[in-house]
Structure 1
Amino acid sequence: MKNIFFKIFIVTNLIFLFSCTEKNKTTATELPTVKIHNWYYFSTEGFQKIDLPQNAPEVYEKPWTESVRITSAASLVNLENKNSEFSAFALVNKKGLLCFNDDKIELYCDNSIFLPDTADSLVFSNGKPVFYLYRSSFFNSDLNQTTIHSTRPFLVEFAPDSKLFYPIVSYSNLNLKDEDQITGYFWDGKTWACSAKKTLKNGVEFSYFCWQPLVPLTEASPALGQEFFVFNSLTENGYKKMILPKLFEESPEELKSLLASIPKEFSFYISWKNPSGTSPENYSHIGTSDNFLSAHAGFSTGKKYITAVFSDGTTYIKKSSENSIKAFRLPLLPKGFSYGEIAVSGDTLYIAWEESSFFKTARAGFISVNLKEIIN
């Protein structure tokens, strides 16, 4: 069973990169297509409006770890700081952090943080966005030619008040060397489980470990000694158990209710953003269909909305104050384009889009949808 789920995990992540809207339908009936929306693409200056994604200026394909694209997005469900300016965020690789306040969008950048590394896996700690940095030894040709200091950041925090980025945990904090690369993590709100890779002359060596700071995460600093961190060993199977998808039947009741109308024969994989702001939980449903569609789902601030968006643009949404579930389609994307990460701020839904083919990404951006136009 574990081997089956591991294959599902690999396959469905590939689907996210190059799934086509002409394949697979997530519902057996035709759904209305949203008419009122705004398209944006990423440019050298930041982001710009465009009439259609295919009309964005063409860019050279790059490995997805080196491309400007939204790698992770989320809504701040529990708004601890009532005066916070933003309620949703999207992490833009090689660029910065998109911050959303309903239909208002700001992009904050820091080249020293974003240009050298790949940015991914957005979570929240005490209401502040936190993400991690890594370098791919497979895709980044500069990795072996550049001296990598052990003080290089692993976790970075964005402070919404000052609009600045702060490294909070470094590789040296975790007792990792120059040749180590953290390839992923899972955070349950207390403990961080990490996988690390070391490239050797005769192959690649993986290791797994858990750690927990003895101070609040947002008070951590690369200057702290290892005595401020507690470490525990972790097996490969233990780590896989955390990150591999569970059966959709085990997902939260709100999510199962939202997608109850999807026919059982359809197969899909869904990344569920936990309301607590920790690492996403992954679920899969294996129907009779041979092909999988990937999806992203989660609550908005205060659980006003619960939303799920599939890579083909099929969207399900429910407002907490209403009993009915709305289903609609985002505009059809051209072949080679797909939808990805989502976030909701106020009454505005944001969805990432990108043009990709087999681990490479070209043009990318996002679309915004006014939910008040859909849910009266």
Structure 2
Amino acid sequence: MKIIDIKAVTYRFPIFLGLTILVFSSVSCAKKKSEQKDGTLMELRSVQKSHTWYYFTQDGFEKCDLPQKAPAMPEKPWTEAVRISSAGSVPSTEGGANSYQAYALVNHGGILAIKNDGVEFFKDRSIFTSETADSLVFSKGVPIFYLYKSTFFNQLQEPFSQTAEPTQKPTHRPFLVEFNPSAKLFFPLVSYENLHLAREDQVTGYVWNGKTWACSAKRKPDANRFEFSYFTWEPYVQLSELSPALNTEDMLLFKPSSEDEYKKLILPKLYNSAPEKVKELLSPIPSEFPFYLIWRDESGTTPLSYYQSGNGASPVSAHGIEAPLAGYVACVFADGTTYIKKTAADSQTVAFRLPLMPAGYNYGEVAIAGNYLYVAWEQTIFYKTGRSGFISVNLEDVLAQATAAKDKKQD
């Protein structure tokens, strides 16, 4: 089923000149652990400006000088605000020279399809207007996400209107949606009805390991309580072959699950169990520094999370990513501290700090396409979001200047 009403807005990135990005040169781990207990970067150096800010409007996105100078947006609960809810780079086994290398899902907006030289913004009002879009994954290089409605924040009573024909059945309520990069269209794959859920039920989250989908669902049988259920399902066919119109019994295999089984999948793991490439990337960080990392590997499946308790203080959140098509691994903390490393042999970790933003602004989701790093930013007021957008960084410029700074210090 094709979804109409799609609009594409294309922006091309020039060589960027913006605010200062900071880079530090390497020091020994022993020195870091003795002098860097607060987790701040050491030996920070200014480099040439190599980034550009963008903010979201009701219809797309525009450049701005600084996030706080973007036009004010109505403050809305984060589930209802226009913001980047999920982002990622395409797995290495898929894509090609003419394909998009990364995507960013814009809640109540659409999807940013990213190449090395620019971003295209695709929208579909029938998909994004009244439902929350989240949890981007990739199946054979194609981005897939899910839709839900917050029973607490969303005040709309009926997200999908019925057709004008009284004898025609109501529209299926999409659960999983794919964006087809060739057709540049959105296609619902699985509906709430396919999962044997009522229209008022909500899928509160899922975990996909590349084969099995584990879901948590919530319903409100009366005004005073909620009921949760847990189940797994597997498709008999490729995800791209699914359709809400197909018979559920012919395409999905269901199994009941439990709260304990679901929690085992979603709870963060101890940082010492993280992949070696993650530990190597973040090796400059002392063990005393507490952080919570969401790590998106090259499988394209649901990201994993890791936790380092450190000194017991409140952890700093971070988003990490493998971008094999671009040849980078990177991690960006909420304050803009960034660690990046090329995947080529003998490459070293380089750390730099994105521009500091005012209090109440944070960095979030991360994607890399070619030699550009894209990081979401948003203005947060408790559970609400005001302004939001993203920053793009020319990695070639940053890494070249970091190398020059290191060579100058050695001289």
- Structure 1 stretches of 5 or more lacking a match? 1-23
- Matched ranges for 1:358-373 at <5 A: 358-373=382-397
Deviations 1:147-171 (A, max 9, x none): 7968200000000011100001001
Q: CA deviation at 1:45?
A: 2.6
Distance in structure 1 (CA, Å) of the matches to 2:197 and 2:393 = 43
Identity in percent: 52
Greater Cα shift, 206-215 or 34-43 = 34-43
1:18-40 per-residue CA deviation (whole Å, 9 max, x = no partner) reads xxxxxx95335253456310000
Instruction: Check conservation: 2:173, 2:199, Cα contact below 8 A.
Output: no
Q: Does 1:329 align with 2:353?
A: yes
Kindly indicate whether residue 200 of structure 2 is the aligned counterpart of residue 179 of structure 1: yes
Higher-RCO chain (CA-CA 8 Å, sequence separation at least 6): 1
Structure 2, gaps ≥5 residues long: 1-36, 163-169, 401-411
Please give the alpha-carbon distance, in whole angstroms, between the structure 1 residues aligned to 2:46 and 2:144. Answer: 34
Partner of 2:337: 314
1:323-375 deviation line (CA, Å, top 9, x unaligned): 21100100000110000000000000000000012110000000000000122
User: Residues 30 and 146 from structure 1, CA distance in 2 versus in 1: closer, same or farther, beyond 3 angstroms?
Assistant: same
Partner of 2:367: 343
Counterpart check, 1:192 vs 2:216: no
1:165 to 186, 190, 196: 186
Q: Is the 8 A contact 2:91 2:138 kept in 1?
A: no
Alignment of 1:85-124 (within 5 A): 85-124=99-138
CA displacement 1:286-314 (0-9 Å, x = unmatched): 01141110000011133610000000000
Matched, 1:374 2:398: yes
- 1:48 is matched with which residue? 62
1:301 aligns to what?
A: 324
Tell me the distance in 2 between the aligned counterparts of 1:229 and 1:324: 45
Whether 1:125 aligns to 2:139 is yes
Query: Of the two, which has the highest radius of gyration?
Result: 2
Number of equivalent positions = 353
Distance of 1:77 and 1:259 partners within structure 2: 22
User: In 2, Cα distance between the equivalents of 1:36 and 1:374?
Assistant: 7
Instruction: Note if 1:258 corresponds to 2:281.
Output: yes
Q: CA deviation at 1:278?
A: 0.2
Q: CA RMSD in A?
A: 1.7
Q: Tell me how far 1:145 sits from its aligned partner.
A: 8.9
- 8 Å CA contact retained: 1:197, 1:207: yes
SS at match of 1:374: helix
**Equivalent position of 1:267 in the other structure:** 290
Separation (CA, whole Å) in 1 of partners of 2:133 and 2:202: 13
Residues in 2 aligned to 1:145 and 1:323: alpha-carbon distance in whole angstroms: 50
